[in-house]
Amino acid sequence: MMMLQLSSTSRALQPNTKPPHHVARMSFSNADTGGKTADPYVAKNSQDPSLKEKAEDFTTFAEKTKFCLLTTKNKDNLLVSRAMAIAGKEGNGVDLIFHTNTESGKTDDLQNSPEVNVGFIDSSGQWASVSGAAKVETDRSRVREYYSQSLKAWLGDLGDGKHDGGPEDPRIGLIRVKAHTITYAISSKNIVTSTIEVAKGALTGQTAQVNKLRHLDESELQQWRSS
């Protein structure tokens, strides 16, 4: 069992207690916990291992999960999400590539605003959130590199000899997402141990320590791409 929400670690932290490195102090607060940490889940589960471990654990999780929600902003500045499947990765694994129909609403959204979020979650509650900038790629050599025969099932063959769902179909493009930040939580214990830990916490009030909660900032991602 996993806790899925990161609540804010705010002004309730002790003045001399530094919050987890990836959690900014927020201006909103609805509680005064004195000298105690207002969000003990974040404090207890946050980890900052080596850059290699953080990046590789994210790429492994994303590859294993594969399916995600891509969130864009439309012309009315409303957020829109849709299910996507990873078609490939670049940037040493932290930047994501998706197939797209260039005539779909998401390409219009990206023309309006390149800022996106990619969210992953699996059946056990492990999750990842990628904040980044996306662009549409229509170069045929790139499209052919990532082409999958299964795309025909989604685009169909219009019978005009051009729009046939094949690699030369001009409707097929790529969405390339360059990550700005990545936050994720993966299990630190097996399901039995995690269940016991959560049950114990519910009885005693001790915060469960069941996840590896991690963050990759922009400078770390750039360093990883170059490694």
pLDDT of 114 above 50: yes
pLDDT of 217 above 90: yes
pTM value is: 0.80
Structure tokens at 117: 């979020």
Kindly report, residue by residue over 143-169, the tens digit of the pLDDT.
999 999 999 999 999 999 999 999 999
Phi and psi at residue 115, in whole multiples of 5°? -75, 130
Architecture in CATH for domain 50-226 = Roll (2.30)
Q: How confident is the model at residue 4 (pLDDT cuts 50, 70, 90)?
A: very low
> 207 vs 160, which has greater pLDDT?
160
Q: What is the pLDDT of residue 103?
A: 97
Q: What is the pLDDT of residue 156?
A: 96
- Report the range of poorest mean pLDDT among 6-10, 41-45, 184-188: 6-10
Q: What is the pLDDT of residue 24?
A: 53
Kindly report, residue by residue over 70-110, the tens digit of the pLDDT.
999 999 999 999 999 999 999 999 999 999 999 999 999 99
Average pLDDT, the chain: 85
Q: What is the pLDDT of residue 17?
A: 38
**Rounded CA separation 195/36 (Å):** 26
Residue 33: burial class (beta carbons within 10 Å; 0-12, 13-18, 19+): middle
Kindly report, residue by residue over 14-30, the tens digit of the pLDDT.
333 344 455 555 678 88
What are the residue ranges spanned by the domains of the chain? 1-46, 50-226
What's the maximum distance between 2 C-alpha atoms anywhere in the chain?
70
Phi and psi at residue 216, in whole multiples of 5°? -115, 120
> 95 vs 196, which has greater pLDDT?
95
Mean pLDDT of 207-219: 84
Q: What is the pLDDT of residue 193?
A: 60
